[in-house]
A and B are shown apart, each in its own frame.
Chain A
Amino acid sequence: EAQVTQNPRYLITVTGKKLTVTCSQNMNHEYMSWYRQDPGLGLRQIYYSMNVEVTDKGDVPEGYKVSRKEKRNFPLILESPSPNQTSLYFCASSLSLGGVSYGYTFGSGTRLTVV
């Protein structure tokens, strides 16, 4: 089954403790992206990657890191989480040809709480 798999689904952590949210897709998509979703603010893009070893900042990259060493994986790293990073996070992947996106497939989301 074609899917984007995120782990964990729920995470509660303390301020400053490094964490990684994993994302993996099995569709051979070039494009992958991380979003955070907060009430009243819609979806905001954190980072995206157009292919292996190519990553770029989205609208709200501060406090986050990503890597794209393999096509299928795109982990999101919070080196020193803070309470304002409490949010619902979604990973997504897409087939993109010639700069045109053919739609995203989303992971199930990770609800992160930083206390």
Chain B
Amino acid sequence: AQSVSQHNHHVILSEAASLELGCNYSYGGTVNLFWYVQYPGQHLQLLLKYFSGDPLVKGIKGFEAEFIKSKFSFNLRKPSVQWSDTAEYFCAVNGNYQLIWGAGTKLIIKP
């Protein structure tokens, strides 16, 4: 069955720490991969996406993600987090006409 697994439900970091959020998927078709962010009290917004080409994709606000096909992974990274990165992060992969979602990772940045 198609699925997306996000390894951590909660992550707490100090400002300036480096971030890596794990995402693994299982899907047999053409893969489009996404990371969405939901800031407190807001709707989900697209952070970055991978469709094809360079497996290292850069998104908004200094985030990047690397698609590793052999590991079925699409981990999100940021070298130095800020307090304003406190949010919930969702990984998703395209399914048949729809997206399949991970359960989300809540990131809390301590000032």
CB-based contact B94/A42 at 8 Å: no
Q: Say yes or no: is A104 at the interface (Cβ < 8 Å to chain B).
A: yes
Known A-B contacts A42-B90, A43-B90, A103-B34; A108 and B97 likewise in contact (beta carbons under 8 Å): no
Interface size class of A (residues with CB under 8 A): 20 to 34
Q: Say yes or no: is B98 at the interface (Cβ < 8 Å to chain A).
A: yes
Q: Say yes or no: is B44 at the interface (Cβ < 8 Å to chain A).
A: yes
Kindly supply a per-residue 1/0 record for chain A positions 37-64, scoring 1 wherever the CB is within 8 Å of any chain B CB and 0 otherwise. 0000011010010100000000000000
Q: Say yes or no: is A31 at the interface (Cβ < 8 Å to chain B).
A: yes
CB-based contact B45/A106 at 8 Å: yes
Known A-B contacts A33-B98, A42-B101, A42-B103; A103 and B49 likewise in contact (beta carbons under 8 Å): yes
> Roughly how many angstroms separate A12 CA and B103 CA in the complex, as a whole number?
27
> Roughly how many angstroms separate A45 CA and B101 CA in the complex, as a whole number?
10
Give B contacts to A, CB under 8 Å: 29-30, 32, 34, 36, 42-46, 49, 51, 90, 94-99, 101-104
Listed from nearest, the 8 A-B pairs whose CB atoms lie closest are A101-B94, A42-B103, A106-B43, A106-B44, A109-B43, A43-B101, A108-B43, A42-B104
A-B CB contact pairs (8 Å), 6 listed: A43-B90, A96-B97, A101-B94, A103-B34, A104-B44, A104-B99
